[in-house]
Structure 1
């Protein structure tokens, strides 16, 4: 049908544009955060794009339903402003026809979101967790950029690391400088600095910890502001530069497969399973709500009800998130029957049905009043 193709073509173009804008905003913010972590040495620069690629399905599963919802509002809002809906109504086109015209994009979006939320996103979260685990177990020197000072600090002091050259494959460094500044427990104790300069260094593993084997260097130790620094020359020295390797922690429930969530009776697992299914159910309910919410007066403009409609969407999504939190925080095995996301979807569906019935009910009321008058 020509009407179906007309609406779907506009809906597709609008949804793609809205999705692109929202993805760029969300991805840019997350990438800046990861870039800041890489700048201070908490992440290696070569894993940034891997992290973004594995996080992209999670971003899309949250953005696509909203983009489709906004797309329906914008497309129908423009048709109301241009009086196209008035012409369609006079030709016998009802809300049910508009609903049928949007079935293909809604079905495609539901399939994509189901694929992401039930399969792709958990695998991506597992890979992100694995990368962060690897980064935590990497030594400070493995995150170094040759020719730049690497500073890490805390309330008790800070450490500075520098190398002129770094052969990562061999784990060999040249022109190594290490400085450890420690504040005293009291003001009377003051601070102390331990600095080391060596011609060469090599990363080695001993007892599950990272060490730096230094060759032909000097060690300086003393208190800032005093002249009694101790200088020691060494031919070989072994310095611990990393913490003990951490045992891999069990993955969070968001990284579990959907089959594992279904088989588990844990509250967190059940909340995550309901959340994944809710992302799929969210789409048809909100698209159905968008059709009556998009009704605007031509004088209002196509954006007349956009903000209230988005607030409705955020309220629905917020109710799902609150219910998810309640299920996770409930005592194990004692989740009440009413504490289920299915009730949120049922209430939303009833409110959507009310949106469709309300205009007809008001028209009948006006007719009855006019007849009595």
Structure 2
């Protein structure tokens, strides 16, 4: 018995070293790839939000809060791709350096490689599941709440002196401008307001107001107004000569009514439990299947990475990188397309509108990556 236990330890020793060797390289590469992809994605999204802040659609002090709540959503999309790319890079390098040849000669085939990747795959699956099923929906709900609050903020709060602020809906639009802000007295100076309507009997007519000063006031009903003093009002249709000019000493313009109506919470901001309780809602079903699909992509694509990383040392380690990444993009693109079809389907959803078929197709493709050559040779020999 002691001799048998010692032999088992001798056998387990190289396997444990192999597991640690691969896991360490996969972990370091995944962290680096994730960091690079997160920086690229966050930078692009931050520029988009920065443009919205410059246009007055969102306050500048809410930008970083929005980005913080959106970060789990970015990570749940990037982590499966990062792990997939890291496996291609690490295993591809091992093929280039003939390490795989040595391992296979020592009896360490695909089965051993797969077992050595169990830990990083389980960690990635757990993180993606935690984000997609719990953390990201809460973050999206908070982002939606922030944007709803920004829509309810008054024009005066978002108005930057020296810059036009344009807000409105499909039927009307308002442009507001103030040359400067007297912070001590709380007055805007040289205020310009232009209202244009497009969907009623007054369509095409523009109401323009200029005033020497303006300040925010509130009536007894809690309605906010911009009180203008010493100004002029012009009303008419551009291109026509029937403009009306009215001078006033004091006038009030209601602010906040140009905002669009509050939208209902987005389906992606609903918790997983709420989605499970709405089996008849196509949007809820599509979102629920999408969340589970993000989890399933991790093991499927990790299994695909092992045969895809196999390259001839004379061919170059990046020979299969581009088609492998394109295959991943096709996989995720099909899932996104199916989610849109499921969410947009009216009435009863067709039975074939399900993401399970895409996962089944991906599983079949992975099967042929492992056994396609063997089946082809067997068919040729028969």
Task: Name the TM tier (shorter chain).
Answer: 0.7 to 0.9
Shift of 1:179: 3.6
- TM-score w.r.t. the length of structure 2 is 0.83
Indicate how the Cα distance of structure 1 residues 229 and 359 shifts in structure 2: closer, same or farther if over 3 A, else same: closer
The match for 1:51 is 66
The separation in 2 between residues aligned to 1:326 and 1:244, in whole angstroms, is 33
* 1:159 is the counterpart of 2:172: no
- TM-score w.r.t. the length of structure 1 is 0.85
* 1:103 is the counterpart of 2:118: yes
The separation in 2 between residues aligned to 1:181 and 1:248, in whole angstroms, is 21
Shift of 1:329: 3.1
The match for 1:142 is 157
The separation in 1 between residues aligned to 2:304 and 2:179, in whole angstroms, is 60
The separation in 1 between residues aligned to 2:175 and 2:260, in whole angstroms, is 21
Indicate how the Cα distance of structure 1 residues 324 and 222 shifts in structure 2: closer, same or farther if over 3 A, else same: closer
- Partner deviation per Cα, 1:24-77 (whole Å, 9 max, x = no partner): 111111111111111121111111111111111111111110110011001111
Runs of 5+ unmatched residues, structure 2: 1-15
The separation in 2 between residues aligned to 1:82 and 1:191, in whole angstroms, is 74
The separation in 2 between residues aligned to 1:326 and 1:245, in whole angstroms, is 31
The separation in 2 between residues aligned to 1:246 and 1:11, in whole angstroms, is 48
Indicate how the Cα distance of structure 1 residues 255 and 295 shifts in structure 2: closer, same or farther if over 3 A, else same: same
Secondary structure of the residue aligned to 2:87 is helix
Secondary structure of the residue aligned to 2:150 is helix
Shift of 1:299: 1.5
The match for 2:194 is 180
Shift of 1:318: 2.0
* 1:339 is the counterpart of 2:353: yes
Indicate how the Cα distance of structure 1 residues 307 and 212 shifts in structure 2: closer, same or farther if over 3 A, else same: same
The separation in 1 between residues aligned to 2:278 and 2:55, in whole angstroms, is 39
The match for 1:41 is 56
CA RMSD of aligned residues (A): 3.2
The match for 1:130 is 145
* 1:260 is the counterpart of 2:281: no
Q: Is the 2:87–2:306 contact (alpha carbons within 8 Å) kept by the matching residues of 1?
A: yes
Moved more, 338-347 or 5-14: 338-347
- Partner deviation per Cα, 1:66-120 (whole Å, 9 max, x = no partner): 1100110011111111111111111111101111111111111111100110011
For residue 31 of structure 2, the aligned residue among 5, 13, 16 is 16
Indicate how the Cα distance of structure 1 residues 249 and 233 shifts in structure 2: closer, same or farther if over 3 A, else same: closer
Shift of 1:160: 3.7
Within a 5 Å distance, the mapping from 1:359-370 to structure 2 comes to: 359-361=373-375
Within a 5 Å distance, the mapping from 1:70-89 to structure 2 comes to: 70-89=85-104
Q: Is the 1:201–1:212 contact (alpha carbons within 8 Å) kept by the matching residues of 2?
A: yes
Q: Is the 1:209–1:243 contact (alpha carbons within 8 Å) kept by the matching residues of 2?
A: no
Q: How many positions carry a matched residue from both structures?
A: 358
Moved more, 158-167 or 291-300: 158-167
The match for 2:10 is none
* 1:310 is the counterpart of 2:325: yes
Runs of 5+ unmatched residues, structure 1: none
The separation in 1 between residues aligned to 2:358 and 2:206, in whole angstroms, is 60
The separation in 1 between residues aligned to 2:21 and 2:142, in whole angstroms, is 41
Q: Is the 1:172–1:203 contact (alpha carbons within 8 Å) kept by the matching residues of 2?
A: no
